[in-house]
Amino acid sequence: MNPARLIEYWPQLWEGLLVTLQISAATLILATPVALLIAILREARVPVVNALLIVAVNAVRLLPAVIVLFFVFYGGPQLGLSLSPMAAAIIGLSVMGAAYMSEDIRAGLSAVDRGQYQAARALGLSPARIFCRIIIPQAIPLIVPPYMTRAIIMVKGSSLASMVAVGELTAAASRASSITYDPFTFILFAGALYLIISGALVLFQAWAERHLRRRYRLTPGGR
């Protein structure tokens, strides 16, 4: 590592880090509600909607993220949808994230004991109320661990934005490396920053799980 070079390229790296954080936050904020909606619609099992969602979700999960980003960024203009690199990256990565995340959420929802639905229905509670008051609170502790794992994957995935010309952290580090021929400084530094971000998310996950366990008096390893 060469601290002098690091200082010289600090503005670009700092800018890249900010863009990485922006993309990560934006994709999480966009993907989460969409994923939740997809999961709910899939659970509701409306005939045609369900089939369409199965096809769409699995098509996205089947493709490399790079291809999905290319579709949005390069294919978009052909559909009259010209997006900035940043917007294209955020949309593409959110689509990817939502597809994977909807499966995580669905797994959590369907892991809630069927008896809970029966008991709630026997009491005359409405479907919306059953979902909000009975099912969701019990599914959240089950969803948090895979959700956080997915969030970390999405932070790492933000590096793909560089493939559609977004100057995020990976792009900044590789550009600096190619100019200075010093990947040991820049790429290792960028790697450390990614590890710090995902480390922070891991700490948050541990805190959230502890909090949820205490809140719902859950014993470790299940209800």
Partner 1 sequence: MTHVPHHVEERLMVQAINLKKTYGTYVALEDVSLSVRKGEVLAIVGGSGSGKSTLLRCLNFLDPPDSGEVIVDGRQMGAALGERALRRRRADIGMVFQQFNLFPHFTVLQNLIEAPMAVRGLSRKEATARARDLLAQVGLADKEARFPSELSGGQQQRVAIARALAMEPQVMLFDEPTSALDPELVEEVLNVMRNLAAQGMTMLVVTHEMQFARDVADRIVVFDQGRIVEQGPTAEVLRNPQHPRSQAFLKRLLRTS
Partner 2 sequence: MELDFSGVPTVWPALLRGALVTLQLTVAVLLIATPIGCVLALLRNARSAPVRGILMTLSWIFRGIPPLLILFFAFFALPLIGLKLNPLPSAIVAMSSYMAFYFAEAFTAGLNSVPAGQWQAARALGLSPTRTLIRVILPQTIPAALPPYISHATEILKGTALAAAVAVPELASAAKRVFVVTYRPLEILIVAAAIYAVLDAILLILQMAGERWAARRRRGGRT
Q: Assign residue 113 a region: left if phi > 0, alpha if psi is -120 to 50, beta otherwise? A: beta
Residue 64 interacts, among partner 2, partner 1, none and using kind-specific CB cut-offs from 5 to 8 Å, with partner 2
Report, in Å, the least distance between residue 142 CB and partner 2.
19
Q: Rule CB under 8 A: is residue 82 a binding residue for partner 2?
A: no
Q: Rule CB under 8 A: is residue 160 a binding residue for partner 2?
A: yes
Which one, 64 or 137, has the nearer CB to partner 1? 137
Compute φ and ψ for 129, nearest 5 degrees.
Answer: -70, -40
Q: Rule CB under 8 A: is residue 173 a binding residue for partner 2?
A: yes
Report, in Å, the least distance between residue 36 CB and partner 2.
24
Contact range with partner 2 by CB under 8 A, out of 3-11, 74-82, 103-111, 129-137:
74-82
Question: Do 93 and 27 form a contact (C-beta atoms < 8 A)?
Answer: yes
Which one, 12 or 158, has the nearer CB to partner 2? 158
* Neighbouring residues of 77: CB distance < 8 A, sequence distance ≥ 6: none
Q: Is 182 exposed, middle or buried (0-12, 13-18, 19+ CB in 10 A)?
A: middle
H or E stretch covering 171: helix 169-180
Site string for partner 1, 102-141 (x = CB under 8 A): -----------x-xx-xxxxxxxxx--x---xx--xx---
Q: Rule CB under 8 A: is residue 221 a binding residue for partner 1?
A: no
Structure tokens at 85: 């690199």
Q: Residue 105: which of 35, 195, 13 has the closest Cα?
A: 35
Q: Rule CB under 8 A: is residue 191 a binding residue for partner 2?
A: yes
Cα–Cα distance, 37 to 56 (Å, whole number)? 14
* Binding region for partner 1 (CB under 8 A): 113, 115-116, 118-126, 129, 133-134, 137-138, 215-219, 223
